[in-house]
Amino acid sequence: MVEMPHTTEGSSRAERTSGRRSRFSYALRKAPLNVKLCFAVVAVYLFAVFFAGLIAPFGESELVSPEPFGPWNSVNLLGTDQLGRDVLSRLIYGARNSIGIAVVTTAIAFLLGGTLGIIAALFRGWVDQVVARVIDVFMAIPQLIFALMLLSIFGTSIQNLIIIIAVLDSTRVFRLARALAMNVAVTDYVESAQLRGENLLWLIAHEILPNIRPILVAEFGLRFCFVFLTISSLSFLGLGVQPPTADWGSMVRENASLITFGDLTPLVPATAIAVITVAINFIVDWYLQISGASNG
């Protein structure tokens, strides 16, 4: 008896993953110069996130000068803050704290909102109506005001900051995931899988997510920007990341008085916030373009 060759599900999935990676690598090589520069900017930020302790000249909260608001010099390249801490070192550590907290918060928001949105789209009926109405209640209140109120009640720890912002931001993710999943859930192949008796996890992993992944990936980048700016805004208002932890939003607040003396130090963390936000938006736009081209 001759054994017929067969392809396992695992190997075919690995081939599809490898194909997607090769197409992405090719598209990246052909990307415009501004997109490549944005990837380089993100790479620099990530390097600071992972190696802050190695590249920062001083400790995160180390007092390096008895003089507050010291000028820029060869030792303190960006001067010192109101307590005599090195601004450059705190800027580097702030990258790790600001970006790291925003990434974790966005991931939790997507896990919560995306899962609920897909489940609501698949079950429909009363499940969809109940979850959607609860989400509507949360979305009716301005996010920043709601976050300020909840942080005032529960405290301003990093854990509370992550949980509160993630829950509030998951409402936006829920809306998008639900709308995308509903379009896929009514297709013939999803209904066929349901008739075969496939379980919920199989439907999500094999039928829903592969068809909505590009838009969700792009939305992750955009939602990261919104979360990042929200956390920075809360820190600037004094209810975000608390001292002595370095955070770009709080650094702008701490050095804001220098603007009146013509000192540009407060603009450094503000510029860092703006650059990473603009870079990610350019990358997201480019990713949506190549995803649309590949799907077409």
Q: Are 237 and 148 in contact (CB under 8 A)?
A: yes
Tokens standing for residue 59: 């400790």
Q: What is the DSSP letter of 206?
A: I
Would you say residue 169 lies in a domain?
A: yes
Look at residues 161, 158, 180, 160 and name the one whose alpha carbon lies nearest to residue 113.
180
Would you say residue 114 lies in a domain?
A: yes
Say how far residue 6 (Cα) sits from the centre of its chain: 41
Q: How many domains does the chain have?
A: 1
Would you say residue 125 lies in a domain?
A: yes
Q: What is the pLDDT of residues 227-251, one digit of tens each?
A: 999 999 999 988 888 888 999 999 9
Read out DSSP for 115-166? HHHHHHHHH-HHHHHHHHHHHHHHHTS-HHHHHHHHHHHH---HHHHHHHHH
CA separation for the pair 25, 258 (Å, rounded): 45
Q: What CATH code is carried by the domain that includes residue 207?
A: 1.10.3720.10
Would you say residue 265 lies in a domain?
A: yes
Task: Give me the amino acid identity at 162.
Answer: I
CA separation for the pair 157, 151 (Å, rounded): 8
Asked which of 5-14, 110-119, 205-214, 276-285 is least confident by mean pLDDT, the reply is 5-14
Using 50, 70 and 90 to split pLDDT, how confident is the model at 184?
confident
- Token pair 């979305």 in the structure block, residue: 139
How far is residue 118 from each of residues 122, 175, 254, 269, measured CA to CA in Å? 6, 10, 43, 38
- Over range 4-25, report the average pLDDT: 56
- Residue 47 confidence (pLDDT) above 80: yes
Segment (H or E) for 9: helix 9-29
Structural domain of 164: 33-61+74-295
Would you say residue 19 lies in a domain?
A: no
In terms of residues, how long is the chain?
296
Other residues' Cβ atoms within 10 Å of the Cβ of residue 172: 19
Mean pLDDT of the chain: 86
Q: What is the pLDDT of residues 82-122, one digit of tens each?
A: 889 999 999 999 999 999 999 999 999 999 999 999 888 88
Q: Are 162 and 105 in contact (CB under 8 A)?
A: yes
Query: To 5 degrees, how large is the angle CA 71–CA 75–CA 79?
Result: 25
Judged by DSSP in three states, 85 sits in strand
Contacts of 123 (CB under 8 A, 6+ apart): none
- Over range 189-204, report the average pLDDT: 79
- Residue 57 confidence (pLDDT) above 70: yes
Q: Are 33 and 271 in contact (CB under 8 A)?
A: no
Start-end of H helices in 238-266: 248-254
CA separation for the pair 101, 161 (Å, rounded): 9
